[in-house]
Amino acid sequence: MRQVTPLTDGWSLRDPDGTGDPLPAVVPGCVHTDLLAAGLIPDPFLGRNEAEVAWVGRRDWTYETELAAGPGAHEQTDLVFDGLDTVAEILLDGRPLGRVRNMHRSYRFDVTGLSGRLAVRFASAYAEAEAVRGRVGERPGAYAEPYQYVRKMACSFGWDWGPTLVTAGIWRPVRLEHWSTARIARVRPLVTVEGGVGRVELAVDVERTRVEAPLTVEASVGGVRARAEIDGTHGTVRLEVPDVRLWWPRGYGEQPLYDVALTLLHGEGALDEWRRRIGFRTVELDTSPDAHGTGFTLVVNGERLFARGVNWIPDDVFPSRITRERYRRRLEQAAGAGVDLVRVWGGGIYESEDFYDACDELGLLVWQDFPFACAAYPEEQPLRGEVEAEARENVVRLMPHPSLVLWNGNNENLWGFRDWDWEPGLAGDSWGEGYYLGVLPRVVAELDPTRPYTAGSPWSGSWLHHPNDPAHGTHHSWEVWNRTDYADYRLHVPRFVAEFGWQAPPAYATLRRALPGEELAPDSPGMLHHQKADDGNGKLERGLARHFAVPEGDFDRWHYLMQVNQARAVAAGIEHWRAHWPLCAGTVVWQLNDCWPVTSWAAIDGDGREKPLYHELRRLYADRLLTVRAHAGGLVLAAVNQSAKAWHGTLRLRRMSVEGTVIAEAGPALAAEARTVAGIGVPAELVPAGPKEFLVADAWGSSRSGEAGSGDGLRALHFPVPDREVAYPRPEFEVALAPGGITVTARTLVRDLLLQADRLDPDARADRGLVTLLPGERVTIGVRGWKTPDPDSARSALYCVEPTR
């Protein structure tokens, strides 16, 4: 049987010019983390230290260890790297074993009978990128850094939310594999289900040391076993499992997983084995044309979905630090917010098995981008061969995961070619179209025909339409954030919104940790350094000024209002688009997470703290949602029911004054069938007018006990004018300790009350975000991690909307 020896110990890191003593190195890891551990560089996440460590990415580095000869009982020993970042030469006692140039691939070298000093010499990714650029010519990109010339995580070179920290290192595990006669080189699992019968077809490739040895494979799944012979180096074993349980996205059913085991045999002796977990489900992408344009609807097990999505970036700029537990924690946060789809964005990586395992278990659908983002990518060698090799490896690697439902060719490159002035400058040079419309769909069709492929995001389906046409396929809505007001989300109904978002700073405790000793202000040096978007603060303030008076000289108030505006902006989009299901079939918020402490579009900041947007997503992505929208000169209440059961009940509609007086009231019936949206017209006499009135819509049972969010917990509010024009009373409320938290009782209208628990203690977390209370209502906010509960401290950490002075 194949034996594995992990190579995790005894590594050192040195400058290849020989200066300085070697440093202890952690493998998997990277140069930055080793230098940090040795105290030779400051933490680049703090202050403006990022600039002080820029030199690291422009140097060459060497990892070394002693390699012992493999056990003599085996015929072959391979040195296997699951990931090398990025351009390296591998040597054993000074003799070259090979050269590599792709972070997204694994590598294997025959070291049978060899021992000695193993060295992995990394060249600067800058040097490689600049050399390739010199060979193939300039290509445009969204950023000045040369990320499109090297097959490496693009956001290592910085992004509009990320630092420029160009890494190098053995970033995934390395090991020795000892084997005889033959080993399993690749297993390509095709998993289908029809009529309750699950079918698993395992296409097996083997590598041999002895050509004449007869080989068989035996596989098992769900209590069913089958055997097949290996003809030369290939074989296929097929299994049929009756009465399989279907794997469903979260919210639609359970996520049963089946263990698949495959053993390579010589006679009855086991030579190697392969084990994975699979799930049985069908997936289709409906892009049928209709009267409105071209749809983009995911269909799982025959069920048409409105995708409640988030975009995922690498959770750390140093990916080797992301543990299985951290993946699980972050993805549990996503599931806890009602998310059912996670898009792995194209400027990052193909994530580790730990990521996809967690998605399988949590019922999170995965939309996987191929790693191309925001640039024209040359199609000449050496890049073209690397692109196909990495695609083939990763398509097969990720195929077992039922959570993976869509392959996507790139992020924004088809759009960039058409709209970002690339086309004239390219003058016919290659720019990536051959990858997205040629190489990648061919690889997916050949290797993984069970999943749909789309050429890009955004993409209208063909060049017959503009790539970002909202009526066709996927759409990225960035004009609103960049230039207009978030109310403009309500002007259009795209078929599928794959990116949109609004910025806010991270949590207060995150800022305090990242900017030690700094007097915080929107334009303080550290705050500006941790704002990477072009004119980011300007867009934040202009976006706020349309709704609130921008506070001058009050950072705490500015910080709170920016959080409110982010949540309000995203809510404006999701409420509008969900109300137009099935015309719109999904929203994918930019973005779930951050890779360091930064002002960004994320719902969870770089320290893992949940912004108010996160809690707002829990409301917006719940199975049932109430929202008010303007329609034909009046108001319509949309009851969005994405659950499997009909929603019948009574509504309570109240036209109220800001002082708390009920001006008019009605109780219309609510009836929304499963997976539908019902529209209920608001009677004219209930439509609020002017700065002193608003509409409250509650599902039957909401607020009946005086506890905000009791009963069904569904409420929609409509104010006819922006907040800066609303005649809010000065908020009055009482605060008392409650078991596990605090209770707030409103004496007046209290709009968007927020407990910033991290101001009480950096480890404290609140269980809810923004909440609006009517006079007499109360809310209990759970707080965990608060070591010394005190009502006065709680009051100091409570913020709400105040009247414009």
Which residues are known catalytic residues? 412
Residues 178 and 49: their CA atoms lie apart, in Å, by 44
Q: Among residues 621, 687, 761, which one has the least CA distance to residue 334?
A: 621
Whole-angstrom distance, CA of residue 45 vs CA of residue 51: 10
Within 112-152, strands assigned E span 116-123
Are 475 and 498 spatial neighbours (Cβ–Cβ below 8 Å)?
yes
Cβ neighbours of residue 330 closer than 8 Å, sequence gap 6 or more = 315, 592, 593, 604, 608
Count of alpha carbons within 13 Å of 266, Cβ hemisphere only? 17
Residue given tokens 């097969």 in the structure block: 396
Amino acid at the residue 348: G
> Measuring CA to CA, which residue among 600, 516, 595, 508 is closest to residue 163?
595
Structure tokens at 415: 């759009």
- The residues facing 612 across adjacent strands are none
Structure tokens at 459: 């993409």
Instruction: Give one DSSP letter per residue of 658-686, joined into a string.
Output: TTS-EEEEE--EEEE-TTEEEEEEPPGGG
Q: Which tokens is 342 given?
A: 């996670």
Before 287, cis peptide (omega within 30)?
A: no
The residue type found at 204 is V
Measured distance CA(49)–CA(33) in Å, rounded: 14
C-alpha distances (whole Å) from 381 to each of 150, 151, 387, 414, 425 are 11, 12, 10, 21, 21
Give Cα 401 distance to the centre of its chain: 17
Q: Per the omega criterion (within 30 degrees of 0), is the bond before 780 cis? A: no
How far apart, in Å, are the Cα atoms of 689 and each of 155, 485, 722? 48, 21, 12
DSSP 8-class letter at 178 = E
Maximum Cα–Cα distance across the chain: 90
Q: What is the dihedral of CA 616, 621, 626, 629, to 10 degrees?
A: 80
Main-chain dihedrals φ then ψ at residue 23, nearest 5 degrees: -105, 150
Do you know the residue count of the chain?
805
Q: What is the DSSP letter of 199?
A: E
Q: What is the chain's Cα-based Rg?
A: 28
CB 191 within 8 A of CB 450: yes
Is-contact 555 515, C-beta < 8 A? no
3-state secondary structure 520-573: CCCCCHHHHHCCCCCCHHHHHHHHHHCCCCCCCCCHHHHHHHHHHHHHHHHHHH
The DSSP call for residue 157 is B
Full strand arrangement of the beta sheet holding 116-123: 23-24, 12-14, 61-67, 116-123, 87-92, 95-101
Tell how many helices (H) and how many strands (E) occur in the chain.
17, 45
Helix axes 353-362, 324-336, angle to 10 degrees: 30
